Structure 1
């Protein structure tokens, strides 16, 4: 375990039980989501490269526009 993780866990131990459980739930959900992404990319390793190539083709053809975060 890393020193940083040990520090985080030490701080978590000082919190009330319900807050510890809430943070534990968030961490576990994040780990499960990361595993799902890893499994998804492992099943189709060329998918990301294909999507990137398609995006570059559209960009070079002038069919893209700059994203404005203010309009999201």
Structure 2
């Protein structure tokens, strides 16, 4: 049995309160990992194409006030 299968088995055995606590922790953990990845990609210039596209649309008059 690999690690994921073992985790799945243990998670399936949790009571409702423990599962809710794990779910909340995992959601926060996942969001923190996403934020770190997004920040790293941004710092590496991997998202510059989005900025450039938005600026080009704005300069072409294709944007409006929010």
* Unaligned segments of structure 1, at least 5 residues: 47-72
Alpha-carbon distance in 2 for matches of 1:3, 1:24:
21
Secondary structure of 1:29's counterpart equals helix
1:1-72 counterparts in 2 under 5 A?
3-45=2-44
* Count of paired positions: 45
Structure 2 length as normaliser, TM-score? 0.58
- Displacement of 1:4: 0.6
- Displacement of 1:27: 1.3
- Displacement of 1:28: 1.7
2:51 match: none
Structure 1 length as normaliser, TM-score? 0.54
